[in-house]
Every structure is written in structure tokens, then in C-alpha cells.
Amino acid sequence: MDDRIIKTEYSEVMQKSFIDYAMSVIIARALPDVRDGLKPVQRRTLYDMHELGIRYDRPYRKSARIVGDTMGKYHPHGDSSIYEALVVMSQDFKKGLPLIDGHGNFGNIEGDGAAAMRYTEARLEQITQEAFLADLDKDVVDFIPNFDETEKEPSVLPVKIPNLLVNGSEGIAVGMATNIPPHNLAEVIDATKAYMLDENITTRELMRYVKGPDFPTGGIVINQDELLEIYETGMGKIKLRGKVEVEKAKGGKTNLVITEIPYTMIGANIGKFLMDVAALAETKKTQDIVDITNQSSKEGIRIVIELRKDADIENFKNLLYKKTRLEDTFGVNMLAIADGRPETMGLKEIIRESVNFQYEVAARKYKNLLEKELERKEIQEGLIKACNVIDLIIEILRGSKDRAMAKACLVEGKTDGIKFKSGESKVMAAQLQFTEKQANAILEMRLYKLIGLEIEALIEEHEDTLANIYRYEDILARRDSMAQVIINELEEIKEKYKRKRRTQITNAEEAVYVEKQIEEMDIVFLMDRFGYAKTIDIATYERNKEAADAENRFAFVCKNTGKVCLFTNTGQLHTVKAMDLPFGKFRDKGVPIDNVSNFDSAKETIVYAASQSDLNLYRVIFATKQAMLKVVDGGEFDVAKRTVAATKLMDGDEVVSVVAFKEQRNMILQSKAGYFLRFPVEEIPEKKKGAVGVRGMKLSASDEIEAVYYSQNAVEQSIEYGDRMLELNKIKLGHRDSKGVKVRI
Amino acid sequence: MLANAEIKTMINAFGCGFSEGYGNDFDISKLRYDKIIIMADADVDGEHISTLLLTLFYRFMPELIYEGHVYIAMPPLYKAMPSKGAEEYLYDDKALEKYRKKHKGPFTLQRYKGLGEMDAEQLWETTLDPETRYLKQVEIEDARMASEVTEMLMGTEVSPRKAFIYKNAQEAELDI
């Protein structure tokens, strides 16, 4: 073993590796450059398409080719990240200004992804070529070697507009993230022009042009007053709402139609919104919703919420704003790379950086053009001069032995070895003094150039060149001139590509939802022996009293805002909101009580039901099979929970009877073996609901309580027992916890 | 974390258990290997993976590091192939600069973005062969520093991390 081991300290490796990774992600992956508003993957994809010549006026090309080419030449990372970047740059609902023209399934606003890259095709948009990729051949930006130094790529694209603002950006780096909303192209250009005319302009003044973000999804920004601070600091929260329209529907009903969603709802959040609205109805937050349908199509967003006739529409809208993401927050953090550093910038800084970049690009462009024109001028002057003395030049050429000899004569005036027709020619030839480049051009000149019209054309061309030189020198020398050139270009782009603002900017009151106060009234709760429950109004009940009492196991008055308590044989108490029960006609079937409460008819049976508000005034007696008795104050059952234990039971025991009572009574316990015990209920001790009862009757080993009756001393009351009638008051009055008497049948 | 199949496999391979949750049976004497070598791509994402693995070891099997069992492999970053003369592997950007100065003639440069770019033979030659490979041994001399750095870089608080990034931004070797 002969490892070459380098010892390293843990904390140093960690710090070094971490900072390398963090900075690489920050500078070269997740954050856009303030000058062109592009992340490296976007820049490389666009440049690659430019190099491949996939122009807007040429046919589409397979996305896979673009992705593969970009990956192989410039971006040695995953293909999916390149394709995703390409897809997003083509989505008009995501970008204010799509840069790529996609063909095929490029996904949709509801979050469905694009088709695989082997299916889709793409090409550049016209504006991308004109405002993002123009002049790349004029040395306007630095080119850097690619990852394996086999290609060159631009370090930044010569983008002519503040793309960072127009298209926005989002990205998560390490320890920081960026989130910049998109803006309106025309407004941003106007603001840029205003800045160029007065660099001391304030953010407030710039906002006369840029009123706020302009999301491709439209929507409404509702905190206009806070935008100034956001644009000054580059940070803050934009409050955004979807656009809701009210439509009249059949039968006097109203439909709320959401025609624009907040930008933040793009993707899976639309589905979530539908679920949230449905949940509002399910949890009874509102009773106003009849139905919700998503009718969005390629024409646009259209989410229809059908409302009840009497719905309070404003209040309902506020409920949506408050409880769903129809109102959402866009957390702005305008972080971008400037001078190789991540920086949070305000509106003005971003425009300034963009404008400075424009000047830089323009300076390089016109310097380059000027050099070319100066070269052209030199040659044109040479050719014009040559045409004037063409006979002499022909004489020199004919008299020279080789090209070098002729060139030496033209440039340096060396006439040695050249045969001239006359001495005069020789003297003149020595004075020609062409430059090197001119001499080359003359030697390569074609004879047809000597035709009169061609010479005129040459002179015209020379004049153009002189004019261009004058213009370029002026642009380079005077900032005003350069500014005018840039402004003209901006104007051109604006006129060609401007589009109406889609997002409304305003100030809106905070949404306040008032929960609807339901008028409290008495209604009648009905439940039949199959467990179907409903509520009806008192008048209906009175009219059908006889049938109602005969057909239903429970029928009692309760409040429509209150709850019904269900006591079960397992000692549980389930509560049901009267609201959750259908309120309707006497002949309506009702709903199974299982569906609206925790009660489970497969496991338990209902022993007793009562209105919760009434129980407050009563005391409740529990009796079980094992003769355990207790009295509980009714107020203890005034609980908010849907299920609580009403009494504690011994193993194998179950509740036989639960009754609420107010006045003095006697209780009669009847056992299976035929024993009856009558005693005053005052003998039963009062206990808490969680407690177990006390023994009410001495039972023999296999005996158990079968039935419980109550009687009042003054009232005669008989029960059918076996095949005869038994007068309850005739049973001997005893005491609790005795054996009772056997009644023979 | 233990839901991750790779991490489970790794812990099982080490044989020395795990100090928290799951088993709670860390026992360094049961370690099956003397050298645990982290081998990640020679780019910044590889570096990131190394920091994550180191954090895992530091938090849950610290003795591995304290006793010097953890190493980081050093795959080459470039391969220079001159038209004349022998090929040479270069392990970092400084070596490349040196090579450029020293080497006058034209040469082709291959940049290794991932270990996957090397065939088995090359990987053996450059990274695995104990005769010729370079290894970084990770050790902890300053325990308090180790703890502080781990907390700062991997902890839940964002602001110290951000401050660290701003402070050390200039020292980063970027991978663009």
C-alpha cells in the first residue's frame, strides 16, 4: 500500500466544498443575470438554437435535438433541466414574453407537463432573434470557452430590453432565492426611456410607467399602495386576486365565474382550489354553493361556481378570497447576479443595470462597425484613385515580372525592374503611394469594375461609407447620440411587440367574510326505527302529529341552530347538528343518521335521543343491564365534540335505558327473571358523566335488567307484562339495591 | 433518512450500526473496513454530495471520522492529450494552468464532468489504484469548529449560512 494521502481537516473540507457548491449554484445555475435576465441554462439553450439556425421563419426542429446539442456543447448537466427550461420559455401563461415558439404539447396552465422531448418541436420567437440574439457577430459581448474548451459561448446575451423585469424569474439557490414577477413590455420600455432621459429619476416617477407587475394570467393586484416600497427595496409581498365575474343563470340563480386566476395558482393549484371550494361546502362553511365546474379550455380559464338563489354574492366572494387561494401572495425578492455577485435590486437598479449594459453593447457594436467602415473607406478610396489612373496601373502590371514587383511599386513606389512606356509614367508610378490593403484590392479588382456605372456605384458606396463613419463616430463620441440610437431601438421593439396590460392594479379592502347568521327557530327532529332522520317545521309536525308519532321512534322539538344528542347502548354520546339534517317535507325520507354523525349502526344501537339545549334543563338517568344506575346533570352533555363517553360501563355491560327527567318520579326496574323493583329516583346518586353507576337492584347470577319504567304517584299507569296488565303503582314501593318482588305471570 | 435505500445499504455494509433511532447500536469495533472512501464526481455537485455524506457520518457515526476511517477520493478533473508525448491527468485547475505554461505544443483537453465518463481502466489508473491514487483523509482536530461548521452549513437557520456565503464568495472555485 502506497496511498498518497493528503490530510484534511473536516471543517475545512466542509467549508470549501460547501462554498464551491453554493456559489456555483448561485452564480451559474439558479439565479438570472441582471443584464439579460437569463439563467445559464436558458441562455445556452437560446444561443444553441441561434447557432443551429432554428429561426422563427424556418421549420420547427425536434426539441430532443436542441436539448442534446445544448447539453453536448454548453450545458453538461441533466437533459431534463434543459428541456424544462425550454418548455417554460415557450409557455405563454408563465412568461409575459415567450422566447421560444413551441409546437406540440407544451403543457398547460393546469399543470399538465409537456410531452416528452422526442415528440415536441420548437424554434425561436421573432422577438428573441431581434432583441436577444442580434449583433452576436459584432463582438458586442464576451465569449468564453465552454466546459471542455472546444466551443465558445456568450457570457451574456446582448438583450436589448430589461428582460429580467419583462419575463421575471424564479429560482432557489443555496441560502437565497429569487422571485421576480413579470411586467408589461411596453411599460418597461417606457420606464427605461424615462431613465435614460433623466438618470436621477425616482422610483415613484418610474412607476408612472411601470404601474406594477403584469402577469400573463391577468388577475388583480390589490395592494397598489405597497408597490412603491417593493420596487424601492426589491422585496415585499404582492397581494393578488383572481378575476371573478357574476353571471345570471337559469331560475334566478347566480353563477360566479372565475375568468382569471392569480399567477400563483398556475399548475396543480387550480385543482387544489376546486377541492378547497368543494370543502367549503362539505364542511358547511357556506350553504351557498350548489355546484362547481371547471369549464376551462383552450379559450381560457372558466371556473363556474353555481350559487343558491338567495346567496350573498359579495360575502361569498370574500369567503373565497379569505379561505382559498383565489387571493394569494406573491413574495417578491428581486435577486439577480450583478457584476458576479448576487444582489437584491429595486426597479431603478435593474433598469440602470440594463441601460448601462445597453451602452456597453452599443459602444462595442459601433466600435466594431466603425472599424469595418474605416477599412472599407480605405479600400474604396484606393479603388477610386486607381480608376482615375487606370492606364498607368495597367502599364505597371504589364511591365512587372511578378505580383510582388507590382505591389512594391503601388505601395512603396519602387519602379526597379518594371518596364514603362515612358519616363513620365515611371515618375508618376513612383508617386502612387497606395496602402497595403488598397494595393491588394487593386490587384484583385475585376475588369468589369471599370465600366462607367460601376465606377459611379463605387463612388456612391464611398459616400455611404463616409456617412456611416460620420454617424458611428458621432454615436461613439456623444452619449446623447448613443442614447438616441438605443431609444430608437427600444421604440421599434415596443411598437412591434407591445401588448395590453393584463393585470389590474388597484387598492382593495381586505376581504372580510361575515358568517351568515341563521335565524334561530324551533323545528322538530324526527327519526324512524330504521335510523333515518330529518327535521320539519313545527306547523307541519302539528298537522301530521299522529302519523309522525306513530312512524317515528323519536320526535321532539329542537333548535335549528342546536344539536341532537344520541345516547347508545355502548355508553357513547354522539351529537348531530340540526343543520346537518335535511329540513323539508314530512314525507321526505331523511338521511341515515350514520351519515351525519359518528354513530355506527353496525356496532351500536340508539337508546335515547334528545335535544341538547333541552337536556340542559333536565337530569339524565342511566340504567344498565347489570342494574348500574346513575343520575347525571344534563348540562354535562353540552359538549362541542361529535362523540364523548356518556357513562362508564363494566365489562360486558350495556346501557338499557337513558331518560331525561325533571320532576319527582319513581323508577321501576324489571329483570329478565321477572323481578320488579319500584323506588324513588332520589335514591340514585348524582355522578359525573365519566363515572360508573351504583347498583340499583340485587340480581341473581344469570339475571339482568330487561326494562325500565317510570311512574308518578298520582298517575295511574299500566304496562303489558306477559298476557296481563300490570298497574305500576301497585308494585310495592321499595328501596334501591334490594331484590324487589317477583310478579307471577 | 433511513427510508433511503442507498443509505441503508451503506450502513449495512459498514457493519457498525447506527447511533440514533434505528437500532441505536453503533459500535465502531464492528466496522468491517479500514477505509471508507467517498467517491463523487469532480464537480461542484460532487462536492455537495461529499458534504452531505460527511454530515451524515459526523452526526450519526462520528467515530468514523475521529478515528480516521473516512477518505475522499480524488478523481482527475482533466485529461490532457498532447499531439506528441504522454497523456497526463490533471487533478485541479491549478494543475491545468501549470500544464499550459509548461506544455507548449497543442493538446486536446478532456474535462471529466462525472465518473461515468471514465472507463474502468481509466478509473483504476487515476482514482482507485492504491499505488498511484491520491486520497484526502478527513480528520477532526478541532472538534468545536467541526460542530459549529456543521451547524452553520447544514442547520435549520438560514441567515448564518447566507452570511457565510457572502463572506467567502470570493474564495469559491466556480464550475460554470
Is residue A124 scored above 60 in pLDDT?
Answer: yes
Q: Do domains A31-159 and A357-497 have the same CATH topology?
A: no
* Of A83-92, A430-439, A715-724, B47-56, minimum mean pLDDT range: A715-724
Fold of A522-742: Neuraminidase (2.120.10)
Whether A23 and B161 lie within 8 Å, measured CB to CB: no
Tell me the mean pLDDT in the region A542-554. Answer: 87
Q: Which residues in A lie closer than 8 A to residue B133 (C-beta atoms)?
A: 3-4
pLDDT higher at A186 or B78: A186
Q: Which residues in A lie closer than 8 A to residue B164 (C-beta atoms)?
A: 15, 19, 175
SS3 A590: coil
A119 is an active site residue: yes
**Domain boundaries along the sequence of chain A:** 31-159, 243-325, 357-497, 522-742
Is residue A355 scored above 50 in pLDDT?
Answer: yes
Is residue A2 scored above 70 in pLDDT?
Answer: no
Q: Degrees (nearest 5) of the Cα angle B79, B136, B155? A: 110
Q: Which of A3, A22, A23 sits opposite B133 (nearest CB)?
A: A3
C-alpha cell at A393: 496601373
Which pLDDT score is estimated for A745?
A: 62
List the one residue out of A563, A582, A562 whose CA is nearest residue A644. Answer: A563
Whether A25 and B51 lie within 8 Å, measured CB to CB: no
C-alpha cell at A495: 411598437
Is residue B25 scored above 90 in pLDDT?
Answer: no
Whether A27 and B142 lie within 8 Å, measured CB to CB: no
Residues 6+ away with beta carbon under 8 Å from A172? A30
Q: Which of B65, B72, B133 sits opposite A4 (nearest CB)?
A: B133
Is residue A120 scored above 60 in pLDDT?
Answer: yes
Which pLDDT score is estimated for A733?
A: 85
Is residue A624 scored above 70 in pLDDT?
Answer: yes
Cα distances from A709 to residues A174, A662, A718, A726, in angstroms, run: 76, 15, 10, 12
Asked if the C-beta of A78 comes within 8 angstroms of chain B's C-beta atoms, the answer is no
**Cβ burial A611-648 (10 Å sphere, 16+ → b, else e):** bbbbbeebbbbbbbbbbbbbbbbbebbeeeeeebebbb
List the one residue out of B42, B28, B116 whose CA is nearest residue A24. Answer: B42
Which pLDDT score is estimated for A293?
A: 92
Which pLDDT score is estimated for B21?
A: 57
The pLDDT-based confidence of A1 (bands split at 50, 70, 90) is: very low
Asked if the C-beta of A640 comes within 8 angstroms of chain B's C-beta atoms, the answer is no
Whether A28 and B171 lie within 8 Å, measured CB to CB: no
The pLDDT-based confidence of B2 (bands split at 50, 70, 90) is: low
Cα distances from A64 to residues A73, A119, A129, in angstroms, run: 14, 8, 21
Q: Which residues in A lie closer than 8 A to residue B45 (C-beta atoms)?
A: 21
Q: Which residues in B lie closer than 8 A to residue A26 (C-beta atoms)?
A: 165
Q: What is the dihedral of CA B7, B12, B15, B18, to 10 degrees?
A: 50
Query: Which stretches does DSSP call E strand in A267-316?
Result: 289-294, 303-307
Find how far residue A199's CA is from the centre of its chain.
36
Q: Which of A7, A13, A28 sits opposite B174 (nearest CB)?
A: A28
Residue in chain A nearest B167 by alpha carbon? A19
* Of A40-44, A82-86, A278-282, A646-650, minimum mean pLDDT range: A278-282
C-alpha cell at A54: 432554428
The pLDDT-based confidence of A285 (bands split at 50, 70, 90) is: confident
The pLDDT-based confidence of A253 (bands split at 50, 70, 90) is: confident
The edge-to-edge listing of strands for the beta sheet with B134-139 is A4-9, B134-139, B70-73, B36-38
Interface confidence (ipTM) of the complex: 0.91
Q: Which of A3, A8, A20 sits opposite B44 (nearest CB)?
A: A20
- Give tens-digit pLDDT for A719-731: 888 777 888 888 8
Is residue A534 scored above 70 in pLDDT?
Answer: yes
Asked if the C-beta of A177 comes within 8 angstroms of chain B's C-beta atoms, the answer is no
Q: Which of B72, B113, B132 sits opposite A13 (nearest CB)?
A: B72
Q: Report the C-alpha gap between A503 and A501 in whole angstroms.
A: 6
* Amino acid in the structure at residue A474: D
Fold of A243-325: Gyrase A; domain 2 (3.30.1360)
Q: Report the C-alpha gap between B96 and B90 in whole angstroms.
A: 6
Query: Which stretches does DSSP call E strand in A184-276?
Result: 220-221, 235-241, 243-248, 254-260
Contact A509, A552 (CB under 8 A): no
- Give tens-digit pLDDT for A568-578: 999 999 999 88
Q: Which of A1, A6, A341 sits opposite B136 (nearest CB)?
A: A6
Distance between A695 CA and the closest CA of chain B, angstroms = 51
Is residue B31 scored above 60 in pLDDT?
Answer: yes
Is residue A271 scored above 60 in pLDDT?
Answer: yes
Tell me the mean pLDDT in the region A127-142. Answer: 94
The pLDDT-based confidence of A301 (bands split at 50, 70, 90) is: very high
* Of A172-176, A182-186, B171-175, minimum mean pLDDT range: B171-175
Fold of A31-159: Topoisomerase II; domain 5 (3.90.199)
Is residue A467 scored above 90 in pLDDT?
Answer: yes
- Give tens-digit pLDDT for A89-111: 999 999 989 999 999 999 999 98
Tally of helices (H runs) and strands (E runs) in chain B: 7, 6
Which pLDDT score is estimated for A219?
A: 95
Q: What is the CA radius of gyration of chain A?
A: 46
Tell me the mean pLDDT in the region A162-181. Answer: 94
- A730 CB burial (10 A radius; 0-12, 13-18, 19+): exposed
Whether A6 and B113 lie within 8 Å, measured CB to CB: no
Whether A148 and B111 lie within 8 Å, measured CB to CB: yes
Say how many CA atoms lie within 13 Å of A266 toward its Cβ: 18
- A414 CB burial (10 A radius; 0-12, 13-18, 19+): middle
Other C-beta atoms lying within 10 Å of the C-beta of residue A56: 14
Beta-carbon contacts below 8 Å between A and B: 131
Q: Which of A11, A15, A341 sits opposite B142 (nearest CB)?
A: A11
List the one residue out of A403, A251, A409, A222 whose CA is nearest residue A328. Answer: A222
Q: Which residues in A lie closer than 8 A to residue B92 (C-beta atoms)?
A: none
Asked if the C-beta of A9 comes within 8 angstroms of chain B's C-beta atoms, the answer is yes
3-state helix, strand, coil in chain B (%, to 5): 45, 15, 40
* Of A220-224, A367-371, A532-536, minimum mean pLDDT range: A532-536
Whether B174 and A27 lie within 8 Å, measured CB to CB: yes
Whether B169 and A19 lie within 8 Å, measured CB to CB: yes
Top residue of A6, A14, A156 to mutate, by most chain B CBs within 10 Å, is A14
Which pLDDT score is estimated for B90?
A: 84
Q: At what angle do helices A347-388 and A452-477 cross, to 10 degrees?
A: 150
Which pLDDT score is estimated for A597?
A: 86
- Catalytic residue of the set A119, A231, A359, A675: A119
Is residue A239 scored above 60 in pLDDT?
Answer: yes
Which pLDDT score is estimated for B157?
A: 87
- Give tens-digit pLDDT for A497-517: 999 999 999 998 888 887 766
- Give tens-digit pLDDT for A600-615: 888 899 999 988 888 8
Tell me the mean pLDDT in the region A460-475. Answer: 95
Tell me the mean pLDDT in the region A612-638. Answer: 89
Asked if the C-beta of A143 comes within 8 angstroms of chain B's C-beta atoms, the answer is no
Instruction: Give one DSSP letter per residue of A706-734, joined into a string.
Output: EEEEEE-TTS--EEEETTEEEEGGGSPB-
Whether B176 and A24 lie within 8 Å, measured CB to CB: yes
Q: What is the dihedral of CA A485, A491, A494, A496, to 10 degrees?
A: -90
CATH code for the domain defined by A357-497: 1.10.268.10
Q: Report the C-alpha gap between A465 and A468 in whole angstroms.
A: 5
Task: Show the domains of chain B with their CATH numbers.
Answer: 5-75+133-155 (3.40.50.670), 78-126 (no CATH)
List the one residue out of B133, B120, B117, B109 whose CA is nearest residue B46. Answer: B117
Residue in chain B nearest A24 by alpha carbon? B174
Top residue of A15, A19, A144 to mutate, by most chain B CBs within 10 Å, is A19
- Give tens-digit pLDDT for A688-715: 888 888 988 888 888 889 888 888 877 7
Task: Report chain A's mean pLDDT, rounded to a whole number.
Answer: 90
Tell me the mean pLDDT in the region B98-118. Answer: 80
Residue in chain B nearest A18 by alpha carbon? B48
